Amino acid sequence: MSTDWSKRTQAVHGGTRRSQWGEVSEAIFLTQGFVYETAEQAEARFIDCGPDEFIYARYGNPTVAMFEQRIAALEGGEDAFATASGMAAVNGALVSMLKAGDHVVSAKALFGSCLYILENILTRYGVEVTFVDGTDLEQWRAAVRPETKAVFFESMSNPTLEVIDITAVAEIAHSVGAKVVVDNVFSTPVFSRAIQQGADVVVYSATKHIDGQGRALGGVIIGSREFIRGTVEPYLKHTGGALSPFSAWIMLKGLETMALRVNAQAETAQKLAEALEGHPELVRTLYPGLKSHAQNALIQSQLGGKGGTVLSLDLRGGKPAAFRFLNALTIPVISNNLGDAKSIATHPATTTHQRLSEAQRAELGITPGLIRFSVGLEDAGDLLADLRAALDSSAG
Ligand SMILES: *Cc1c(COP(=O)(O)O)cnc(C)c1O
């Protein structure tokens, strides 16, 4: 294995460990525990557990370790810790490093459960949290202070697809010694260069593009070896957020095809966004790959111009039009996952962001007519015809 390999090669071979049988496909070590040859070996392993040694699956497991090393290599991080879900990863990354009296600055456009951790959990344990408009660098500058231990944001926000400047926010955070924690789901591991751009910790919900086929929950925290093994591992191994070996195997197989899937999905998303922009039933077509996107220059530099696999459509007729649109779709399913092989349409205001107040939704641009559309692997022409027909139906 080489650190010089490109993402595509890492995604297929990174982290591979073969048993004595020399299997081609990664083995699933569906075991909770590990046998020691002697009492002395057990004692030694509890004193100092080497990278190829295991004690208990809550601490680590060979299949899980393969997934951790593969995603770390792909992302350009030193090490990774895999978790039972994306939320276990967000919680693990933040709670493991914070204590009462610390301060966190976070972008306010967040996935609902991320917002809950910052707003309702951290604050309960004496961590102060300041929310800013993540696209406004002046607000980040004004919010950081000497007690700021971490800044947190989604590099591309859900569902309004604003992009946050990782390099610029990292410079501000590092000026006060704060760690930069990026929830990178919408940027995807395929287009991300977050660590090279200044992120200290990158978090993924593997449930999304890494599995990519809607089968299993998972998450991962990627960072320096010191942070992963010194800070994250002690917290997670004792609090029980471990990924199951079976799910790790699903994620390993998902990584092999991820670049092919995500590139194809992003290409279709770009086509659909370009074709639908300016449609008379739409007030806004939000897609980071569109030239009209407010942050086009940043998208070029941060993501190589790639807009990801999700677009959002804001229907002129509000909630009734959005519901007529959803009910008229024949190919995409109505659901709330994203990054799946199947296209998925979501009405954020009544589902994923229902918990927010109307004022909070309005502030985040989550209008009653907004549809989040996760582009799958279907034929682009079929999807476009279906979306156009549903937009016609939405007029009522
Ligand atoms: C889905 C998602 C999560 C949570 O992931 P789970 O695997 O569902 O726990 C966190 N952040 C973002 C941006 C997400 O899209």
| Final residue of a structural domain among 202, 224, 254 | 254
Ligand 1 atom, smallest distance to 154 CA: 13
CATH number at residue 292: 3.90.1150.10
For the chain, the domain total comes to 2
* Pairwise CA distance, residues 95 & 201, whole Å: 13
116 shares its domain with 190: yes
Question: Within this chain, do residues 160 and 25 fall inside the same structural domain, yes or no?
Answer: yes
CA dihedral of 191, 247, 376, 386, whole degrees rounded to 10: -150
Single-letter code of the amino acid located at 319: K
**CB 86 near ligand 1, within 6 Å:** yes
pLDDT of residue 1: 66
Q: In terms of DSSP bridges, do strands 103-107 and 148-154 run parallel, antiparallel, or are they unpaired?
A: parallel
Asked, for residue 30, whether it belongs to a domain, the answer is yes
Based on the fold, state whether residues 286 and 199 are members of the same structural domain: no
Q: 170 with 200, same domain? A: yes
Q: Are residues 153 and 281 in the same domain?
A: no
33 part of a folded domain = yes
C-alpha 207 – ligand 1 centre gap (Å): 7
Nearest CA to ligand 1 atom 11: 111
Is there a single domain that holds both residue 227 and residue 264? no
Asked if residue 87 has its Cβ within 6 Å of ligand 1, the reply is yes
* pTM of the predicted protein model: 0.97
CATH number of the domain bearing residue 180: 3.40.640.10
* Domain range for 29: 7-254
344 lines ligand 1 (CB under 6 A): no
Question: 240 and 280: one domain?
Answer: no
Same structural domain, 143 and 79? yes
Last residue of a domain, one of 229, 254, 279: 254
Q: What are the per-10-residue average pLDDT scores of the chain (396 residues)?
A: 86 94 96 96 93 92 97 96 98 98 96 93 98 97 98 95 97 98 97 96 98 97 98 96 97 98 98 97 96 93 95 97 98 97 97 90 94 98 98 91
d(CA 231, CA 195): 18
Query: In this structure, is residue 191 part of a structural domain?
Result: yes
Smallest CA separation from ligand 1 atom 6, residue: 86
Residues 21 and 101 occupy one common structural domain: yes
- Statement to judge: residues 240 and 268 lie in one domain: no
Q: Please, which residues have CB within 8 angstroms of residue 360's CB and are 6 or more apart in sequence?
A: none
